[in-house]
Each structure stands twice: as C-alpha cells, then as structure tokens.
Amino acid sequence: MIAKIEQLLQEVEAMTAGSAEELEALRIKYLSKKGAVNGLMADFRNVPAEQKKEVGMKLNELKTKAQEKINALKEQFESQDNGCEEMDLTRSAYPVSLGTRHPLSIVKNEIIDIFARMGFNIADGPEVEDDWHVFSSMNFAEDHPARDMQDTFFIENNADNVSHNIILRTHTSSVQSRVMENTQPPIRIICPGRVYRNEAISYRAHAFFHQVEALYVDKNVSFTDLKQALLLFAQEMFGAETKIRLRPSYFPFTEPSAEMDISCNICGGKGCPFCKHTGWVEILGCGMVDPNVLELNGIDSKVYSGYALGMGIERIANLKYRVNDLRLFSENDTRFLKEFEAAY
C-alpha cells in the first residue's frame, strides 16, 4: 500500500497540463469518486492495524498534495493572458436584442408631428393637480352635473383624512388652463399626457390612459378653422381618402361642442363589424372654447376666441393597429411589443 502511495506522490508532483481539458481529466483521474486516491482509501480497511497510522498519514499527504497541485495548475491557467483583459465581463451576452418604441409612443409622436406642422407647440403640466385647474377653470360649477361624468381619484391628507381638493387629473385640459392663465394670445398648444379615472379595468377601459388635447386661441378664430384642422389631422393620420363628420355634443368647456367621426379605415366607409356596419368610427371631441373658460383664465372673450379638441391615444392606436384589448398597452408583454418593431 505504501509503495502505491509513493508512486502516486511522484506522479502528482510531476503532473502537468496543457489545457483546462487536460487538467479536468487529471482531476478526475486522481480526485474523483472513482479516482486513484479514493480507490486507495477504500482499500485502507484491509491494511493491518499496526500499519494503519503510517498508511493513513501517507494517504492524507497524497490527497492534500494532489488537491494543491490541481489548484496550482488551475490558478496558472486563470492568470495566463487569454486575450480577455479588454473584455467587459459585466456586459450582456450577445446577441443583444434591441428594444422598440412602445405603440403608444409611436402614435403620440405621430400626433405631435402632425400638429407641430400646423404650428402647435407642446405644453406639459403636473399629473397631481388641484380642483381649480382640472374642473373649476374649465367651467365646471361646484354642483355641476358634468363633474359626475368623470370618476376622479382624490388625494387624501394622511393627517386629517381631508382631500384639500388635490386630485389626479382626469384630462389634460388642466394644462390648457395653466397656459392660458400665464400667457396671452395667440396661444397654439398641444398637451399630451397621462390621465387617471376611477374605472373598472377591462378590455375597453383602464384606470389610467393617455390623451392629447389641442388649444388655439387668437383673434377671429372660427369653427371653420377647427374643421379644417380636424380634416387635415384625420387625413395625415389615417390617409388622404379619410372623410370626417361632426355630430353635436356637450362638454362644459366648449360651446358649441361636437364629436368627430372618421370614415372607417378598415372597410373604407362601406360598413364592417369594426365600425358596426355604419361606416364611421368616433375618434375625438372638440368645440369652440366657451367664453366663460377664457374669462376664468384671464383672457378677454370679447377680443379673443378659440377652439379645443381632445383624443385618447389608445383610441387612435386601436384604429391604426386594430388592438382589441386596452390592457395590452400596459402589460409590457414583449411578444406584443415586438409586433411594432417596423412601425416607426
């Protein structure tokens, strides 16, 4: 037994390896469960009692030296210049998948681009707002039933459980109010942003969504100007053959008010299940700015007039890409998002 151990000690001391594969083969040969060292330890029970101490010490020496030799060779390989010094090992593995713009961002940017070519500038405002800018400045009286048209998220004060009229904005009209109270006409702005309403989440509604509103205030602005802007927008967004129609409606901040339909971009106005066989699809609300709104925001309604319009970005995205479930826009499913890689 001692002779075998001495022979293995000599082999271990002379051990060399030219590659990591050779080193692994040596480790298996000497130190694996079925290796030479474990084979000797299995035979240790057959050693006479008077030799066990000496043989045991030799076996431990063999195992220790074999492990030290393997570790030394391993460190030698790791310390060698393998051309990786310039490599950033924290980088992601290749190939790296490139991201895409979100479909709502694609549509929002298209809308902004169209209105920018008509001379509109982008305006922005806070999502956490006060009652004045969201409702009162937009001609919503305290007891006006129109306040019930939009379910509102109220921000409560933790100390006394009072809202103090702080809310999550229900429309981006609050941005229009902030611009009007700080700027004199001419005003020509577009207000994209996220809004919040306390609604049950389903395939056709969500507690948050995205709007784009436009406002134009100047001398002698007429409904004809509004109609021309709407027609140009519809044809730029949905194609030159798109037709529009305006239906009377009601909004507290515009008078007269209308809702705009476009000829169905799927069937070309002939009628299909998407447009419920009417040939028309509603896309936005609009109207002439109510004189009360101008006065509430410090603009002389006897000198200036204006128009406003607003649309849901999700609604436009649905029409362009035929997405039937609004929830897909906020779930960040990469399979859904990859469908828009060529959309911009």
More confident residue, 206 or 173: 173
Pairing of strands 166-168, 187-196: unpaired
Extract the tokens encoding 192: 């994209």
More confident residue, 188 or 90: 188
For residues 89 and 103, what is the distance between their CA atoms, to the nearest angstrom? 34
Out of 152-161, 304-313, 315-324, 326-335, give the one with best mean pLDDT: 304-313
Residue 264 — left, alpha, or beta (φ > 0 → left; ψ -120 to 50 → alpha)?
beta
Query: What do you get for the CA distance between the two ends of the chain, in Å?
Result: 77
pLDDT score of 301 more than 60: yes
pLDDT at residue 141 in the model: 78
For residues 212 and 309, what is the distance between their CA atoms, to the nearest angstrom? 8
Judge contact between 111 and 316, C-beta under 8 A: yes
Judge contact between 108 and 210, C-beta under 8 A: yes
Mean pLDDT within 122-141: 90
For residues 47 and 1, what is the distance between their CA atoms, to the nearest angstrom? 8
pLDDT at residue 331 in the model: 84
Residue 164 — left, alpha, or beta (φ > 0 → left; ψ -120 to 50 → alpha)?
left
Determine which of 49-58, 217-226, 287-296 has the lowest per-residue pLDDT on average: 49-58
Quick one: pLDDT band at residue 115, thresholds 50, 70, 90? very high
Q: In this predicted model, what pLDDT tens digit does every residue of 269-286 receive, in sequence order?
A: 788 877 888 889 899 999
Quick one: pLDDT band at residue 150, thresholds 50, 70, 90? low
pLDDT at residue 223 in the model: 96
DSSP strands (E only) in the chain: 121-122, 128-130, 166-168, 187-196, 208-218, 244-251, 254-263, 280-289, 305-312
Single-letter amino acid code for the residue at 138: M
- Name residue, tokens 């607003």: 310
For residues 58 and 5, what is the distance between their CA atoms, to the nearest angstrom? 7
pLDDT score of 251 more than 60: yes
Single-letter amino acid code for the residue at 66: A
Quick one: pLDDT band at residue 186, thresholds 50, 70, 90? very high
CATH code for the part of the protein at 103-340: 3.30.930.10
Q: In this predicted model, what pLDDT tens digit does every residue of 74-93 receive, in sequence order?
A: 887 766 655 556 677 777 77
Query: Residue 223: phi, psi to the nearest 5?
Result: -65, -30
Helix (H, G, I), strand (E, B) or coil at 329: helix
What's the whole-model pTM score? 0.68
Extract the tokens encoding 341: 């890689």
Q: In this predicted model, what pLDDT tens digit does every residue of 27-54 receive, in sequence order?
A: 888 788 888 877 777 777 777 878 778 8
Q: Give percent of the chain with pLDDT exceeding 90.
A: 40
Mean pLDDT of the chain: 85
pLDDT score of 160 more than 60: no
pLDDT score of 215 more than 90: yes
Quick one: pLDDT band at residue 229, thresholds 50, 70, 90? very high
